[in-house]
Amino acid sequence: MIRAWPRVSVRRTCQALVAGSLLASHLAMAHPHGWIDMSVRVITNDDGAVTGLHQTWRMDPFYSLVVMEELQQVPGTSLEQGLDQLGSEIRNNLTPQHYFTEVRIGDKPQTFGEVTEYTALERDGRLTFMFILPLTSPQPLSGQVLEYQVFDPTYYIEMVHEEEGDEPSPQALILNGEPDCTLSVLPADPDPEKVLQASLLDVDEEGEPGLGRHFAETGRVDCR
């Protein structure tokens, strides 16, 4: 169900997440069934070219609680060791799905290298996954517009930038260097038919491929 997460070590977690969703009658027949608060730091090199995205994903409190309880019940394994294993499994499960991330610079879609820097940890009661998603090769940013979207294609999980009040947090999108660039997070504007389609999906149904794209926020770095 939650393809980003390990399917074996947190099987009961997935079941508990579904059960928790069913407790709220107004959510029982609608996607999404969980959410992630994320923040992104665009990394540049000394030449001002983009080399990758440092992403921080904070899992929702209910999912985090169940995962932490599961990890603490594994015999002969410390919480730190369990989190290390969990981080590796999350990374491995996300790799074939391109880390739920799409990046464009101008009109050119970007490709990614191997993720080798990542960690899973507990922070303020939330399971947090942090990783650096490298571009295949550095890309000049001066005079360009970089846009990215991070989304679960099935929309089982909603992914949104960190907020303060009703606005994206100043820490939700950060750029290293290039101080003249304008940063913004654009809200999703899904077609009403897509909203209806998502609302009619039951907990054991999958959305059409790419459904989550219609609900994805867009991070923009405008350096023109």
Q: Evaluate whether residue 6 is within a structural domain.
A: no
Q: What is the mean pLDDT of residues 58-72?
A: 90
| Residue 143, domain member (yes or no) | yes
Q: Contact, 173 vs 5, CB < 8 A?
A: no
Is 151's pLDDT higher than 70? yes
The confidence band for 171, taking pLDDT boundaries of 50, 70 and 90, is very high
In a domain, 93, yes or no: yes
Instruction: Evaluate if residue 17 carries a pLDDT over 90.
Output: no
CA distance 207 to 168: 27
Mean pLDDT across 114-143:
96
Which among 185, 166, 186, 93 is positioned nearest to 131, based on CA atoms? 93
% pLDDT > 70, the chain: 75
The residue length of the chain stands at 224
Domain-embedded: residue 146: yes
When mean pLDDT is compared across 141-150, 151-160, 208-217, the lowest value belongs to: 208-217
Asked if residue 188 lies in contact with residue 9, where contact means CB atoms within 8 angstroms, the answer is no
- pLDDT for 13 beyond 50: no
- Take residue 111 and report the two structure tokens written for it: 């490709």
Tell me the HSE value of 170 on the side-chain side, using a 13 A CA sphere. Answer: 0
- Domains: count for the chain: 1
In a domain, 4, yes or no: no
Is the pTM for the entire model greater than 0.85?
no
H-helix or E-strand spanning residue 90 = helix 79-94
**Are 197 and 207 a contacting pair, CB within 8 Å?**
yes
Instruction: List, in order, residues 6 or more apart from 46 with CB less than 8 Å away.
Output: none
Residues 6+ apart with CB under 8 A from 121: 83, 127, 128, 130
190 versus 112: which is more confidently predicted? 112
Q: Which domain holds residue 110?
A: 11-222
Is position 201 within any domain? yes
Cα distances (angstroms) measured from residue 222 to each of 64, 109, 219:
35, 16, 10
Please compute the mean of the pLDDT values over residues 5-24 and round it to a whole number.
36
Closest by CA position to 13, among listed 64, 88, 80: 64
Q: Is residue 1 part of a domain?
A: no
Q: Which segment, 113-122, 152-161, 211-220, is predicted with the most confidence on average?
A: 113-122
Residue 164 structure tokens: 């303060």
Q: How confident is the model at residue 77 (pLDDT cuts 50, 70, 90)?
A: confident
Residue 185 domain-assigned?
A: yes
